[in-house]
Structure formats: structure tokens, C-alpha cells
Amino acid sequence: MPIDKTIKTVLVIGSGPIVIGQACEFDYSGTQACRVLKNEGIRVVLVNSNPATIMTDPEFADATYIEPITPDAIEQIIIKEKPDAVLATLGGQTALNAAMKLHEKGILQRHGVRLIGADVQAIQRGENRELFRAIVEKVGGESAKSIICHTLEQCFSAVAQLNYPVVVRPSFTMGGLGSGIAFNSDQLEQIAGAGLRHSPTSEVLLEESILGWKEYELEVMRDRKDNVVIVCSIENIDPMGVHTGDSITVAPALTLTDVEFQKLRNLSIDIIREVGVDTGGCNIQFAVNPQNGRIVVIEMNPRVSRSSALASKATGFPIAKIATKLAIGYSLDEIQNDITKVTPASFEPTLDYIVVKTPRFAFEKFADADPRLTTTMKSVGEAMAIGRSFPEALQKSLRSLEGKRQILSFQPI
């Protein structure tokens, strides 16, 4: 299917301020989106509250609004600019949440604007834990045993069934904000209490602990013809219990046999189909029990994520760019592969090298922060390295952190 001619003006929602848990990767993806839309002759209207980004440079959009990313402000922009569509899947969780609010308040319907990239139902199915669990079950996957709670009392009665430690995950937050692992009732009160406050829906999920399991992520893209490709598999060195953003990660996954990898691949494809992301990318996370291979689906992001930026750089498959093209109507086989220039984007990159990403911490600058790694992201940046072997890539990436003696060595420090 070629480009959708009814889309003449697109409102791109940016990711707002750079915070721990949501860094410049969404500036990168949003900038790519603006560039693609402009090249296709589409008028680009951009809203981002953060002027210190590349995407807000004047040349990237036809109209740039440095305004708060709130439904009211965005409605004003919609009234003024009359876009045909809103693209919110490339601005991280901030943009996605904003789009959901626009929908809930009836603003999109009122002004006849549609969401492209992922529709409201798909976003809900991907982000709402109960709906997502049902989907995982429907496609034959398994989720960690869990209980949804809206009050602290509910949390305490849930723990009676799940036993400590339990993982606390607030709904609709980014970078794992407000989440953590509770080993006793004091910790539960502290973490779940904060989680209930942070969650826009006052909702937290308590989950059986899969601490120490192997953690994998797959980057998936799907078009409206139902073509699906797995762009990249990523394996975390730090197991379940440490947030992916704080973990050293490796692409491609190195410790799965083909049988096991294909199980993850099939589950990912079935999940993206069932969730209904049909014009873009998503990221699906799995935990695998190292003792017996039991697979638990952790979550999905129905949008371009932090890992998508890593996967793009690791494989040369420009996820943000292609996600934008899919959103405006193209299918994967109509988009050119940026590296070969002659073959289509409907392929799965294969690597003859190893990519390692290492987080950069700055605990020395945050005296009060607890430097223990948990399911809440604490790193402030990351370095990625490509090498022809795992040791090479690991050392290069550690060295790129520019910390003193931050390489692995047998010499005494």
C-alpha cells in the first residue's frame, strides 16, 4: 500500500524533558519521524516542552510549539493547525500518555483527528496489564502470577498469596518509575505506596518474583499487510530484578538455541498481532528460567522504546524512520533497506558482530540516592560498542563510559 494521501498535516508529540528513565533516545526517534514526514511532503507540526532538543530546531518541523505536553495545550494546537493525524508512538511514554488523554477527553474525536502509529485500542491492550495478560494467555504464553491492587490493604492481602519477595509495578509510568522489589512488609508499604501515587490510575501490580531469571527483549515491527519482522534480540547480562536500562545488554541474544529463540519469536509475532499494532514497532520483554526454560512474558511497549534506539544502532535497521513510514501507509516490502539500498525493509538483520550496551551511573552526584540496582532505572546514560567478539565489545563499551579504570582487567586496582 502506498502512502495515505489523506494525511496532509501530522502533529508529532515529543517526549518532553530529559529525565532519568527517558533520555535523548526519544529526541532521536522524534527527529527521525519529522524528517521522514517532511520528505514525504507532509506538513509537520511539533509539540515538545523541551527546547533543548534537536527536534525543536527550526528546520525539522513546519511549525514548532514549545508548550507543555498537556491535553489542553495540545488541543489549542490542534484547533490552530488542524492536523489530520497525531503521531505519538515516537515520543516515548510521555507522548503516548498524552495521546491517551487526548482520546479520553474526546479531543481527538471532537476535532476529527486520528492517531497513527498505534490506535487507542492497541495502546490500551499493550499498556493495560490485565488486558495484556489476557492476550498473552490467548496466544498460549505465560505471564508471571500477579494481582492488581488499588490500595495498600489490597497489596498486603495479595502478598499472602504470592509470598515475598514480590515485584511492585505501577501502571502507566515510564522508566519503571515507582517500581521495585519488596522483601518484607515495610518495603512493600514504602514501594507500593509510592507506586500508587505515581500511577495516573492509582494502580499497582504485585507479581511473583522471577528474580534472577534470564531477561530478553525482542524488537518487532508490523505493517498493515500483517508482515512482521523481528529486528533484533537483546539479552541482558544482569538478570531479572535489574531494570533493563541499568543492565549491561548484548545483541544478539547469545545463550538461546534456535528452538528457544523461535518460541520467543512466535510469541512476539502472535502478541503484536493480537494487540493490534499494525503500523509500527513494539518491544516485547521475556524472562526465561535458566533452570528449565520456562518462558514468562513480562511486558510490551506499543511504541518505539529505549531499546528500539539501541536495536537501530546495533543492526542498522532504522526503527523510528521505518515506524514513521509504516504509520503513513507504507508496508515493509515497499520501504528500502537503508544499508543495502536495493533490498526491502521486510527482512531480519543478521549480525556477524556483537553489540554491548553499558549503563552510565552518576551516584556520586546524587548523594541521597540508593545506589542498589532495582527495577527502577537509575542510570543517567549509556554507552554502546560494536565488536567482533563479546569481550571486545564489552571492553570497548566499558571504556566508553570514561570512568577511571572502567575496564575488566586481571591487574589489581
Partner 1 sequence: MKAFLVLDDGRIFEGKNYGATGKTFGEAVFATGMTGYQETLTDPSYHKQVVVMTSPHIGNTGINPEDNESSKFWVAGFVVRNPSPITSNWRANDDLEQELVRQEIVGISNIDTRALTRHLRDRGAMRVGIFSGTELTREEMVVEVRKSNQMAGAFLSEAVSTSTPYVVAAKGQKRFKVVALDLGIKAATPRSFAERGVESVVVPFNTSAAEILALNPDGIFLSNGPGDPAAMTQVVETVRELLTSEVPIFGICFGHQILGRALGFETYKLQFGHRGINQPVLDRTTGKVEITAHNHGFAIKAPIDQQFTTVYGPGEVTHVGLNDGVVEGLRLIERPAFSVQYHPEAAAGPHDANYLFDRFISLMDARKVRA
Q: Residue 57 Cβ, how far from partner 1 at the closest point, in Å? A: 36
299 Rama sector, left if φ>0, alpha if ψ -120 to 50, beta otherwise: beta
Q: Considering beta carbons, is residue 172 or 390 the nearer one to partner 1? A: 390
Is 343 a binding residue for partner 1 by CB under 8 A? The answer is: yes
Is 184 a binding residue for partner 1 by CB under 8 A? The answer is: no
DSSP-derived letter for residue 365 is G
Site mask for partner 1 (CB under 8 A), range 291-320, x = bound = xxx---------------------------
Q: Residue 141 Cβ, how far from partner 1 at the closest point, in Å? A: 15
One-character DSSP codes across 110-170: HTT-EEESS-HHHHHHHH-HHHHHHHHHHTT--B--EEEESSHHHHHHHHHHH-SSEEEEE
Amino acid at 29: S
Q: CA 315, CA 231: separation in Å to the nearest integer?
A: 8
Return the residue matching grid coordinates 517526549.
15
Contact with partner 1 (CB under 8 A): which of 333, 336, 338, 370?
A: 333
Q: Considering beta carbons, is residue 114 or 265 the nearer one to partner 1? A: 265
- What are the grid coordinates assigned to 188, written together? 512493600
Contact with partner 1 (CB under 8 A): which of 332, 380, 384, 394?
A: 332
Q: Residue 259 Cβ, how far from partner 1 at the closest point, in Å? A: 6
Contact with partner 1 (CB under 8 A): which of 153, 186, 258, 364?
A: 258
The pair phi, psi for residue 272, each rounded to 5°, is -65, -35
Is 227 a binding residue for partner 1 by CB under 8 A? The answer is: yes
Q: CA 116, CA 135: separation in Å to the nearest integer?
A: 22
- What are the grid coordinates assigned to 242, written together? 535489574
Contact with partner 1 (CB under 8 A): which of 43, 224, 265, 396?
A: 265
Site mask for partner 1 (CB under 8 A), range 346-375, x = bound = xxxxxxxxx---------------------
Q: Residue 65 Cβ, how far from partner 1 at the closest point, in Å? A: 38
The pair phi, psi for residue 391, each rounded to 5°, is -60, -40
Q: CA 64, CA 309: separation in Å to the nearest integer?
A: 23
Q: Considering beta carbons, is residue 6 or 292 the nearer one to partner 1? A: 292
> Which residue stretch of 9-17, 137-145, 288-296, 320-328 sits at the interface with partner 1 (rule: CB under 8 A)?
288-296
- What are the grid coordinates assigned to 357, written together? 550496551
Is 252 a binding residue for partner 1 by CB under 8 A? The answer is: yes
One-character DSSP codes across 235-250: EESS-TTS-GGGS-EE
Q: How many residues bind partner 1 (CB under 8 A)?
A: 38
> What is the binding site for partner 1 (CB under 8 A)?
225-227, 229-230, 233, 252, 254-262, 265-266, 290-293, 332-333, 343-344, 346-354, 388-390
